[in-house]
Amino acid sequence: MDEAPDGGRDAAVDDDLTGRLRELWRALLGVPKVDADSNFFELGGHSMLATRLMARARKRLGVDLPANLIFEFPVFADFAAQVARATRHGTAAQPVDAPQATGREHGPLSLQQQQLMLVEVGLGPSPANKVVVVLEVEAGDGGRVDAELLRRALHRLVGRHPMLRTGFRPEGAGHVQVVLPAVADDGVLEETDLRELPPADALRRARRRVRQAHLRPFDLAAGGLLHAQLFRRSGAADLLALHLHHLACDGRSQQVLVDDLAAGYDALADTTATATANAAATEAGTGTEAGTGTAGAVPTATHPTDVISYLDYALWQEGRWPATLRQSRPHWRAVVRELADDPARMPREPATTVAVARSATEVAPEVMAAVRRWAAGQNATSVVVLAAAVAAAVARLAGLSSVGVGTLLENRPLAEVERTVGPFANSTLLAVPVAAEATPRQLVHLVGERLTAARQWSDLPLETLIAGPAADAAVDPAELIDVVLSVEVAGDRPAGGRLRLRPVTDDGPPLLPVAVAAQRTVHAHLGDADRLRLAVEHADDPDEAARAGALLDHVVGLLTAVVSAPDTPLPAPSAVGAPPR
């Protein structure tokens, strides 16, 4: 039942529009109620959910809406009023600006795929672009998962998402992608029973098997870009490892695949239960049918199937990227110039492959809860605050006046591709000036503005966007990135159901040798209940560990300062040595 119409700001908004917007918020945020004074970010919204909200609103209402509208008006009544104004006076959405379903199964690579393919061609068959998702898996009643149902659910997943059965083949001067038919028995699931081993030994054996599988390159021409391993364990939940390739997926795609795997398993289990009940009823002579499914049937997909394929997206991108690149030049010239002109910026040593360790820390949940509440009051998100803290920490530790912060944007501004599996995400670069007397509030606002400006060019890879401006300034683009912030936000997993999947966080050494560069990469995992885990990979030696620890300590201190003293100049770093330049 919908809430009664609100007064005040909502009074001038059409009740039907208000209801539709409320439903969008409810569905996206997973909350039962949205009031006039509800704040999108206080209800659990973040930048990726904000992008999805705007994409869905544009499609549902058929009107162009600014991408940053939810950031400027995060309170529901204000947001609804702005949408109503756009509906009355705005420009109707142009269908030509969205990818269209073509039904094609052969076509060009996207720009993102072209960048990845350069690595594949340069290295030859290699696991460099492979990715593995490790999950604890158990049945909904807490028992063991049915391996046969899981195998069939994985086959269903491959049939549903064309990118998992796409081959990449040379053609002309480059490569093309070809969607291949689903194969009935492709050995997608490998099962290993470790129940005779003690829990610690079973975990070590599972990790070794995952690493061995990870090191085996995919045959990109043959397709089949999903391989799964199921490890049975005693005294602990079983483990499921999903091996994928970046040519076929990104972080959001991984969440879509996990959701669809759980939904497919549930549907198959329901069908099997129905068939068993029918057989029992027939044997008993009652003739009562519990349903019409059969154990071998593949039920209808839970999620809508009218989604655009990734190949459709690649074709759409091919027709518009030159204009986007041309229009983006002024923005990226300014970014490159601001970073290149910092006198403290020095040439760096090239990246080297060394033994790698990982330093990690956790931020107290009460600190992150306070950060989230404070950020919502600033029309910002916890991720923006985190980016500001990381930029300030690097600036203070490295003596820079302007910090190049690289981060990843989901790049799904259109509802048509929200559940399409493929490598949509692109890196972006923010030039963040950190003045000596800057306050946390000032820096958060500045980072929010820079991120909003960068988002409008998120459809093209960063390498494509800054190659020209960097050449004009005679600088190496890699020299402009001082720190990379990699953020993973815990996705909503299917509640209940017959399959429970929980992501596993591993702070052990990387599965592959890592080339450690001068710039740091800060990995941030934002979990449920305001849990934040930060980690930095570094060369495995005491000095590097101390520098990584100093960076993490300063980031945590700055997060605390944001809420305790937002209008006091940023604190100085500890006395621990700065990262090398």
Instruction: List the structure tokens of 152.
Output: 């069939």
Last residue of a domain, one of 93, 115, 142: 93
User: DSSP letter string over 152-177?
Assistant: HHHHHHHHH-GGGGEEEEEETTEEEE
| pLDDT the model gives residue 229 | 97
Tell me the whole-structure pTM to 2 decimals.
Answer: 0.83
Is 1 inside a domain boundary?
no
User: Looking at this protein, which amino acid is placed at residue 417?
Assistant: V
User: H or E stretch including 546?
Assistant: helix 542-564
Last residue of a domain, one of 284, 305, 327: 284
**279 and 183 in one domain?**
yes
User: Looking at this protein, which amino acid is placed at residue 375?
Assistant: A
User: Looking at this protein, which amino acid is placed at residue 133?
Assistant: V
**429 and 408 in one domain?**
yes
User: DSSP letter string over 228-257?
Assistant: EEEEE-SSS-EEEEEEEETTT--HHHHHHH
Is 164 inside a domain boundary?
yes
| pLDDT the model gives residue 295 | 38
User: Looking at this protein, which amino acid is placed at residue 502?
Assistant: R
| pLDDT the model gives residue 504 | 85
Say how far apart CA 486 and CA 407 lie, in whole Å.
Answer: 6
| pLDDT the model gives residue 301 | 40
**How crowded is residue 284: how many other Cβ atoms within 10 Å of its Cβ?**
9
Instruction: List the structure tokens of 155.
Output: 């086959």
Is 544 inside a domain boundary?
yes
User: H or E stretch including 432?
Assistant: strand 426-433
| pLDDT the model gives residue 472 | 94
Domain of residue 165 covers 106-284
**79 and 189 in one domain?**
no
Identify each DSSP E strand in 413-463 by its residue range.
426-433
Number of domains forming the structure of the chain: 3
Say how far apart CA 475 and CA 478 lie, in whole Å.
Answer: 9
Instruction: List the structure tokens of 196.
Output: 């005779």
Is 63 inside a domain boundary?
yes
Is 340 inside a domain boundary?
no
The vertex-411 CA angle with 82 and 106, nearest 5°, equals: 130
Q: What is the CATH number of the domain that holds 453?
A: 3.30.559.30
Say how far apart CA 517 and CA 143 lie, in whole Å.
Answer: 45
Q: From the first residue on, what is the mean pLDDT of each consecutive set of 10 residues in the chain (581 residues)?
A: 41 76 90 90 82 84 80 87 78 60 94 94 88 91 90 94 96 94 80 95 94 94 94 94 96 93 92 66 55 39 59 94 94 96 77 74 94 89 94 93 94 87 96 93 95 90 95 92 89 65 74 62 87 89 90 94 92 51 40
**519 and 387 in one domain?**
yes
Q: What is the CATH number of the domain that holds 14?
A: 1.10.1200.10
Is 536 inside a domain boundary?
yes
| pLDDT the model gives residue 336 | 96
**87 and 143 in one domain?**
no
Say how far apart CA 526 and CA 535 lie, in whole Å.
Answer: 12
Residue with structure tokens 């609100």?
6
Give residue 299's region: left, alpha or beta (phi > 0; psi -120 to 50): beta
**239 and 120 in one domain?**
yes
* β pairing state of 356-363 and 483-489: unpaired
Is 569 inside a domain boundary?
no
Residue with structure tokens 């969607």?
179
**83 and 152 in one domain?**
no
| pLDDT the model gives residue 276 | 63
Last residue of a domain, one of 247, 264, 284: 284
**133 and 87 in one domain?**
no
| pLDDT the model gives residue 298 | 40
**119 and 80 in one domain?**
no
Burial of 138 (0-12, 13-18, 19+ CB in 10 A): middle
**131 and 48 in one domain?**
no
| pLDDT the model gives residue 93 | 44
What is the torsional sign of CA 440, 442, 448, 450? Answer: negative
CA atoms within 13 A on the CB side of 412: 29
**271 and 228 in one domain?**
yes
| pLDDT the model gives residue 569 | 92
The alpha helices in 236-345, defined as continuous H runs, are 251-284, 310-340
Is 405 inside a domain boundary?
yes
Instruction: List the structure tokens of 552.
Output: 């993490």
Say how far apart CA 231 and CA 408 lie, in whole Å.
Answer: 32
Q: Which residues of 362-390 are buried (b: 16+ CB within 10 A; e: fewer)?
A: ebeeebbebbbebbbebbbbbbbbbbbbb
Q: What is the CATH number of the domain that holds 162?
A: 3.30.559.10
**33 and 153 in one domain?**
no
